[in-house]
Amino acid sequence: MADAKQNEFMKAYDACHDRFLRYCSSLAYGKMDVQDLIQDVLVSAYHKFEKIENKDQLLHYLIRAARNKSISIWRKQKPQTELTQLHADRLADQGVKPETVLDIQLLYRMLDKLPSKQKDALVLFEINGFSMKEIAEIQGSNEGAIKTKISRGRKKLAALMKDGSSSSVDSLMETLQTITL
């Protein structure tokens, strides 16, 4: 019985592994260890797998669970500078230029200043490559509202980063799409 559940879970998870990993990486940047977040969410999802109605939408469930788990963790702890350095070191190991690493750190600090729904929509769309439709399903909204959140978020983010970044917001988002944090 347990083997059947495990096989079904792994089959559903295999289909969304890469996108889930990328989302968790972008969500956890500078705030928590990515592997801890992934492990916590997967263990929880596995235990609740029978209760998930649409198993083909496991990715949406995992994203909501990761977001909720991260909020819970952030409330309990202060930002840890060693995690930011760990993530910066990982980027440097991938050949990302030091000035780009600094711009990415600035981008994440500025993203934290946006309203949470705007930030989530931007991260899902710009960094993780989700479609407007998928984001609308994840956030329980409609595509028009998501387009508005993303547009307003881009404008706010560009204004926030205007003075502190050597790169444009668009080029930083493109860089983030091509690397794993």
Of 15-24, 32-41, 72-81, the range with the highest mean pLDDT is 15-24
Which domains, ranges and CATH numbers included, belong to the chain? 2-76 (no CATH), 81-178 (1.10.10.10)
Whether pLDDT at 74 is above 90:
no
Q: Which residue has the higher pLDDT, 6 or 166?
A: 6
pLDDT score for 131: 92
Closest CA to 152 of 111, 108, 123, 118: 118
CA distance 145 to 149: 6
CA distance 170 to 176: 10
Residue showing tokens 């881009």: 154
* Lowest-confidence segment of 8-12, 44-48, 53-57, 175-179 by average pLDDT: 175-179
CA distance 172 to 127: 9
* Lowest-confidence segment of 16-30, 55-69, 166-180 by average pLDDT: 166-180
Q: What is the mean pLDDT of residues 146-151?
A: 93
Closest CA to 102 of 121, 87, 120: 87
Provide the 8-state DSSP code for 73: H
Compute the mean pLDDT over every residue in the chain, rounded to the nearest whole number: 81
pLDDT score for 174: 67
pLDDT score for 77: 63
Helices first, then strands: H and E counts in the chain: 10, 0
